[in-house]
Structure 1
Amino acid sequence: MEELAELESRQTQILRRIAQLELSILRPSNNYLNIQIPATATEERLSAVLVDGGVKDFSFKRVPSDYYDWAFEARRDVLGAASIHHLCKSIVLVNTQASSDITDCSDRQNSKYYVVVVQYTARFSADTVKNFLYTLNNGKIPKKRFNLRLAPEEISQKLTGFEHNGVTCVGMKTDIPVILDEAIVKLHPDYFWLGGGEIDLKLGIRTSEFINFTKPFIVNCSGS
């Protein structure tokens, strides 16, 4: 057991070294000269949206192109996140059993689509969201009318304006209701990371400000 623990410790150290090397390779001249990479149009637009929405404590970070091939520990280190549990994602869900007259997101309580923000380390439960929406509508809509599934990638991109791995619930093309996993609200410190509108752009934000900005439903919809 001690040998296994030592091997895991060494592996973690190696992953951190790799993350540091990748970042230095990504922009060595910028680190050396202490020059900021110019913000892209996406970063500028989303920053303006956040500021207009009263958000003050947020930041964007550019990551290497192979970021999603890395272990969670390496991703944590390159972002400077507090833990691997502070790494989150936004996924677009579609209610495949919604009645034929429910085609958009105009009704937050009974929307055709939802964006759910969950931790990468958590196991998302669609059934929990189904039960939440059923209760939210006071049981007036049959439970069989709720069946949340991952929206096809082309639908997600059409609704949000962001491609796979770049999806964020800030500045979306469509005002899709947001569901925030309760586990994220309980994180300490209360600052988490999610997609930033581009595949290699990540957004860090204070949880309380995210909640004030997106007005999400906070649901216990995952497990470890």
Structure 2
Amino acid sequence: MACGARTLEDTEIQNLKKRQVALLEKISCLALRFYADELAYLEARQASVLNQVSTLQRILDCEFPQCGRTGDLPGCHQEVHTSKERRVDDGKGDGVPCQNDIDLSAELGGIGSYVQTRLTRILTNAGASFLFKRVPADYYGRSFEERRDLLGASSIDHLCKSIVMVNTQAPDSVKDCSDRNNSKYYLIVIQYTARLNAEKVRQFVYSLNNGKLPKKKINMRLAPEAESNALTGFEHNAVTPFGMLTNIPVILSDAIVRLQPEYFWLGGGEVDLKLGIRTQDFIRILNPFIADCLY
């Protein structure tokens, strides 16, 4: 009996050891998955930060060409800034006055708030009624109802987005956005709850040209993300029609115009920054085309 009990005990010990080894292997696998997820997250954040730095550089090149490289992106335009005159070293030991240079760190509070400060200036000068709100990092992983509550929007239909579309069949002579009736690109503003109808956008662009532009020369498709970033100066999920690097013609969905109350939310220039604005202010400032572009 004693021998049998000892054998049973040894068997139990071996089973426990096997279970322990299996458990340690599972823990190891979970740890590897955790670190892989963390690494992927950090890489994504790094890419986002680098993109924001690149975007900021393009904006600075456009707005302060006298103090750096001259902006060479299509649609870049200078704004007049009032600031104290500063002296910039010209390499000869003497300071050279630079009227348009401003101390970003002192006046704008650092890179993180530059976009919001810049857009606030644009909207305030235009006399708009607006509001910025920061949202959690997992905002786009939440339901429309949760996003509505985070922003204090009137309904999920008041949550909107901006999409850059490109005419892939545009004539060779159409390379930019200088002709708003026959532009290479259009920025479409629609609700998140709606579906964009590319064919209706195509028909609308055709109608703008009174039949002078053949239908076969109009094929509206979503612009590649890198192209959208370069044209607007804003990354994916941050695009806003205000303060874009390129003066892209805007098409506003007529469904947004019919919303009550007349106040909706859209991207605010940064992924975690959202902008609420009165519909009439949006229309007055941007003078968008208003069209039926939904299914």
Partners in 1 of 2:164 and 2:246 — Cα distance?
A: 11
Equivalenced residues, count? 185
The two structures have a TM-score, normalised by structure 2, of: 0.62
Which of 208, 217, 228 lines up with 1:145 in the alignment?
Answer: 217
Partners in 1 of 2:218 and 2:143 — Cα distance?
A: 34
- 1:156 matched to which residue of 2? 228
- 2:161 matched to which residue of 1? 89
User: Is 1:47 equivalent to 2:104 in the alignment?
Assistant: no
In the TM superposition, 1:23-34 aligns within 5 A as none
- 1:101 matched to which residue of 2? 173
User: Is 1:133 equivalent to 2:205 in the alignment?
Assistant: yes
Which amino acid counterpart does residue 45 of structure 1 have in structure 2? R
- 1:21 matched to which residue of 2? none
Which amino acid counterpart does residue 41 of structure 1 have in structure 2? Y
Partners in 2 of 1:220 and 1:51 — Cα distance?
A: 30
> Shift of residue 54 of structure 1?
2.6
Which amino acid counterpart does residue 54 of structure 1 have in structure 2? G
> Shift of residue 144 of structure 1?
1.0
Partners in 1 of 2:209 and 2:173 — Cα distance?
A: 16
- 2:256 matched to which residue of 1? 184
> Shift of residue 53 of structure 1?
2.1
User: Is 1:201 equivalent to 2:273 in the alignment?
Assistant: yes
Partners in 2 of 1:144 and 1:76 — Cα distance?
A: 40
Q: Secondary structure at the match of 2:202?
A: helix
- 1:78 matched to which residue of 2? 150
Which of 106, 112, 124 lines up with 2:196 in the alignment?
Answer: 124
Q: Which has the higher contact order (CA 8 A, sep 6+)?
A: 1
Which amino acid counterpart does residue 191 of structure 2 have in structure 1? Q
Per-residue displacement from partner, 1:98-134 (whole Å, max 9, x unpaired)?
A: 0011010000000000000000000110111111111
CA RMSD, 1 decimal: 1.0
> Shift of residue 50 of structure 1?
1.0
In the TM superposition, 1:55-70 aligns within 5 A as 55=128, 57-70=129-142
Q: Please, which runs of 5 or more residues in structure 1 have no aligned partner?
A: 1-37
Partners in 2 of 1:145 and 1:199 — Cα distance?
A: 34
Partners in 2 of 1:146 and 1:114 — Cα distance?
A: 12
Q: Please, which runs of 5 or more residues in structure 2 have no aligned partner?
A: 1-108
Sequence identity (%) = 62
The two structures have a TM-score, normalised by structure 1, of: 0.81
